[in-house]
Amino acid sequence: MRFTPRTGASRLAVRTAARHPGARVVRGSLRRHLALLTAVALVSAFGYLLLHPRTVRIQADGQDLTVRTKLASETALLDRAGVALGDGDRVTALRGDGADVLRVERARDVVLRADGRTRVLRTHAVTVGQLLDEAGVVVTGRDSVLQDGGLVPPTTVLDAQPRYVSRSARPAQRPEGVPLTVEVRRAVSFTIAEDGREVRSTSSRTTVAQALREAGVVIGPGDIVTPLLQSRLEPDMRVGVRHATMIVVSLLGHDKLVYTHARTVGEALTAAGIRVPDGAYIDPPAETAIVAGMSVALTQVVAADDVQYKTVFAGTVYEPDEDMLSGETRVVEGSDGVLVRRYVITYVNGEEAGRELVEEYYDPEPVDTVIYYGVAPEDEPTAFVTAPEPADTATPAGEFAGARTLNVWATWYNPASAGRPPGDPDYGRTATGVMVTYGIVAVDPNVIPLGTRMYIPGYGYGIAADTGGAIKGYTIDLGFPDGVEVDWATQWVDIYILD
């Protein structure tokens, strides 16, 4: 017979029992006594818990309630506090500061529509993606996720309001009983035929416009889309897109953008309702093929006559008369005339681009007033247009004896040197309207007033009838007609003022 070796207290007990048979009876009695004491302690502790109240904080539905209770059951305690539990609600027991804590975490009611099924889930998911993971719904590619009808990414926080059922519940923003809705819309395959080039694409969007935008197809002004953009996208649908070509039309100086499907410039203008005005031309021509971004100009050219009338006042001409004695005058009155000039004016897009003088005439022709004056003394007549006498510083006899004298610098000029070309209507005409000839003297009116009669030794009689930019102060310019030999030498000379 085998014995299991014993050690320590076991061997001592065996030896004690062998030596003292009465010890077994004492040990058994002691065990019964200890068991009785333990049972009494347990009953006392349980009674204490039943009879002694405890403090419990209940956190539920945004409320924090503190209660004193003798109940040990969590469910009974929540029910006594008016907090009802629903399917999926979680209760967590915590230990707080000086009190037990029961935290109630509500599950949310969410309606999930996916793959042809509609189900109501009770969930503690925080985001849309967590909800889909709990439901085993996989979103791939261009599938769309909608929360209450609006497109959202899976990371969006579920926007559901907690369901308050306690007596102190507050109103929810969403009507009670209307749960949050999450929908998964699967992408469908369709064909895009863009300007004759076909590609396959997928989209879960509702309309053709949304699907094209998701595929990166930009629809601009004048583009043609079939079916219409607002049409519902259907599986295996064929969507045709024809892009319009943009051109710039400049019409009478104003630019206009035209989006067209026409082949030529003329067809594009007709389709856009642009009428080419009479007398206008198109650049480039109407038969030119349309190219994106090209500029088309409509230029209108109009010719018109412009007739101008200019009054030509009669001038005064002084002519010597060899038959009249010095100091005598005779006046032959003239009359004003009208210079008629007719121009052809070219207008381009309403603005004058040029004018051409095509006709010029007088109607009537002006006639100068002629003042004849005597040039010869009674005993010694002298022709005014003969060669001037040599300069003489001596005082002439007769009427010049009492005349006022001025010492001036005397130059000479003729029509050719007066500054206007021979073809100019005012060629050879002076500031007073008379023609440059013998006897016409240009002066500075501040020194010698216009109309002043004078005698210039070496030249003869003259009248102040012209001015000039270079004639300043004591300077005069003696007139000569074209075609004669001028023998006047520019010099200082004493002249005689007769008026």
- For residue 399, what pLDDT is reported? 59
Residue 147 has a CB neighbour count (10 Å cut-off) of 20
8 Å CB contact between 438 and 448? no
Q: Which of 197-206, 274-283, 328-337 has the highest mean pLDDT?
A: 197-206
Residue 133 has a CB neighbour count (10 Å cut-off) of 13
- For residue 99, what pLDDT is reported? 66
- For residue 327, what pLDDT is reported? 55
pLDDT reading at 389 higher than 50: no
Residue at 434: amino acid letter: V
- For residue 40, what pLDDT is reported? 53
| CA atoms of 457 and 370, how far apart (whole Å) | 24
Between 3-7, 32-36, 446-450, the lowest mean confidence (pLDDT) is in 3-7
pLDDT reading at 192 higher than 60: yes
pLDDT band at 17 (very low <50, low <70, confident <90, very high): very low
8 Å CB contact between 355 and 343? yes
Tokens of 320: 């010597």
Q: CA nearest 370: which of 410, 315, 417?
A: 315
Question: In this predicted model, what pLDDT tens digit does every residue of 322-334 receive, in sequence order?
Answer: 787 755 667 788 8
Estimate the crossing angle of helix 9-19 against helix 23-51, to 10 degrees.
130
pLDDT reading at 421 higher than 90: no
8 Å CB contact between 122 and 137? no
Preceding amide of 364 cis, omega within 30: yes
- Sequence-distant (≥ 6) Cβ neighbours of residue 10 within 8 angstroms: none
Burial code of 91-115, b = ≥16 C-beta within 10 A, e = fewer?
beeeeeeeebbbebebbbbbebebe
| CA atoms of 146 and 131, how far apart (whole Å) | 13
pLDDT band at 158 (very low <50, low <70, confident <90, very high): confident
* pTM metric for this prediction: 0.45
- Residue percentage of the chain with pLDDT more than 90: 36
pLDDT band at 167 (very low <50, low <70, confident <90, very high): very low
- Residue percentage of the chain with pLDDT more than 70: 78
Cα angle for residues 125, 131, 135 (degrees, 5° grid): 130
pLDDT reading at 405 higher than 60: yes
Between 283-292, 298-307, 487-496, the lowest mean confidence (pLDDT) is in 298-307
Q: Which of 150-164, 310-324, 340-354, 455-469 has the highest mean pLDDT?
A: 455-469
Cα angle for residues 433, 434, 437 (degrees, 5° grid): 150
pLDDT reading at 477 higher than 50: yes
pLDDT band at 373 (very low <50, low <70, confident <90, very high): low
Tokens of 332: 């032959």
- For residue 377, what pLDDT is reported? 55
N-terminal to C-terminal alpha carbon distance within the chain:
185
pLDDT band at 311 (very low <50, low <70, confident <90, very high): confident
- For residue 173, what pLDDT is reported? 54
pLDDT reading at 75 higher than 90: no
pLDDT reading at 290 higher than 80: yes
Question: In this predicted model, what pLDDT tens digit does every residue of 89-137 receive, in sequence order?
Answer: 888 877 766 568 878 888 888 999 999 999 999 998 999 999 999 899 9
Burial of 326 (0-12, 13-18, 19+ CB in 10 A): buried
pLDDT band at 486 (very low <50, low <70, confident <90, very high): confident
Mean pLDDT of 277-289: 86
Tokens of 29: 């009695």
Mean pLDDT of 357-361: 90
| CA atoms of 458 and 455, how far apart (whole Å) | 9
pLDDT band at 15 (very low <50, low <70, confident <90, very high): very low
- Sequence-distant (≥ 6) Cβ neighbours of residue 363 within 8 angstroms: 337, 338, 340
Between 50-64, 254-268, 455-469, the lowest mean confidence (pLDDT) is in 50-64
Higher-pLDDT residue of 302 and 448 is 448
Q: The dihedral of CA 47, 50, 51, 56: what is its sign?
A: positive
8 Å CB contact between 354 and 346? yes
- For residue 36, what pLDDT is reported? 67
